[in-house]
Chain A
């Protein structure tokens, strides 16, 4: 019978914290960039210009049809070469973190754009018309009147998506980048205590994510009340 031994965890905590910082960094950058780019995509999809809406539709359905792992592999392959060519960086520069951020941001944007599109459609047409009647230009009406309301309506969904995104950052494992999960795996592998480290990592993710979803649910109830 296997004897559990947790002794390698305390010493590894600083290294794990470094990893957690990378996970959180990727998450935050991807949320910010993803919501920004996703909102633009949503506006393009709803725009009367056919070319724009087709382009956005194509982008969203492409990214939603491919596994995230595959998207990440693409970005680890393509982005470094591209950045080196453009910025003239040396081959020694480690671009895995940047690639991960770009990959997650572009991938998540496809999901955020669907949420924002539903949010924009949830705001009644009367709101936009009222803004236009006050003399606003269409983009002003969108930016000042419709988007703030759409964002508020969709906030719980955007936050839930952020929790999923945080969990998904563990997939940077495929590039051997030491995020929280990667760090835990490396420590477990080095000390021959993979079982304990994996269980520990699972528990940490569980505590963070269930606390966050609990907070989102409470927040959602407050919004509804």
Chain B
């Protein structure tokens, strides 16, 4: 469903992605991990075209992201994305955060959009907060709203950019639970995260990145049992000490 082929990207003279390639099949859950500054976030932002690439190709559901004729807004509406800092729209109530893109991008009618929004708020357990503003919710609640906001567009796959790293420890699990449920429902997901417990539980494959390169790309069990590179081993032992 998502194929990333030999992607290069640089800011000025600094190369942040050098020759990354991987494939994600329908229903697969991929966890991308690696030390900070290794290019993980940049890589998934390239998948929905938020970051342009200099060479290589990214194809999502048969559509080339970087191609000139590609209608990016249309493509992005089909690829959900959840950010590290939630990035809910602070001036809109929770319910309006969920209906804005449904109405403006998909052209759904107000009632239809609200019905979809409420069913998703039920799913993430926040129905009673529908009429609050984001600033009145905890970080964990905001992130669950952000997930619901993406799901409201009925995406074919979801991208998660360190969804729990800005959260207080006691809120991490409420967000991970929602993500686990989503994975069990068969959603195609690429998740950038340091949560190795989550990775073990739901990921089909682990992609390990370092300095702009994909260093390892292995089935979850293999990766944890026997990482092939020293860097991955170092990374795993450091994570444990956290």
- State yes or no: do A and B touch (Cβ within 8 Å): no
Which A residues contact B (CB, under 8 angstroms)?
Answer: none
